[in-house]
Structure 1
Amino acid sequence: MDQWFMANLGDAMLAGDELDHVCALFELQGNRSPTTAVLMRHENLGRLHCELVLYFPPELADLAARVGAYPCGRPTLSGLGVAVGSPQRLADIMVGGMT
């Protein structure tokens, strides 16, 4: 399964509580790979402020569903960072591993 998911947390300056909630749920997640992560990017969607968008890899589909994320394609690497989890997940995207 290679379906990714995304959740737009809105204005990055106001997204702290929602981000903390997602991070807490991630930490409670059992049976997750030690190299998985929720990824994030600040995206300018034509509004005054950038928005914080989270990307959930296929192995975190259950977590994505819990936070109302919706299906998307695999994110591009540009500007992508780790919200919570292993930095190895970014390297996996770079080399095309772990869809």
Structure 2
Amino acid sequence: MEQWFMANLGDAMLAGDELDRVCALFGQLGDRNATTAVLMRHENYGGLHCELMLYFPPELADLAACVGAKPCGRPDSSGLGVAVGSRQRIADLRAGE
């Protein structure tokens, strides 16, 4: 099983600064796969507001560690978008489901 990582940025309305930081760190990666990406999804666990979850694929383990992401299983592709990187990463994820 591939080891993915997840970071909860909290209330999606307030997550902009942290999302910008993740995007900037991604841009600083020197040697990265051209089809990789940090994926995102708005999730609601019964609260008033949704939370912005980021999903880091195995090849971005170092970036995930920099932002305090926790290990998780491979995310379901339903509702995922690209926070930063290649849209191909979602297609690759769907192909593996």
Shorter chain as normaliser: what TM range? over 0.9
TM-score by length of 1: 0.95
Q: How does 1:1-99 map to 2 (within 5 A)?
A: 2-96=2-96
3-state SS of paired residue (1:83): strand
What letter matches 1:76 in structure 2? D
CA RMSD of aligned residues (A): 1.1
Counterpart CA distance in 1 for 2:75 and 2:2 is: 12
What letter matches 1:27 in structure 2? G
Shift of 1:37: 0.0
Counterpart CA distance in 2 for 1:40 and 1:92 is: 15
Sequence identity (%):
78
| Over 6 Å off, 4+ runs | none
Tell me the number of residue pairs that the alignment of Structure 1 and Structure 2 aligns.
Answer: 97
Counterpart CA distance in 1 for 2:46 and 2:92 is: 30
3-state SS of paired residue (1:38): strand
What letter matches 2:32 in structure 1? R
What letter matches 2:16 in structure 1? G
3-state SS of paired residue (1:39): strand
Greater Cα shift, 75-84 or 88-97? 88-97
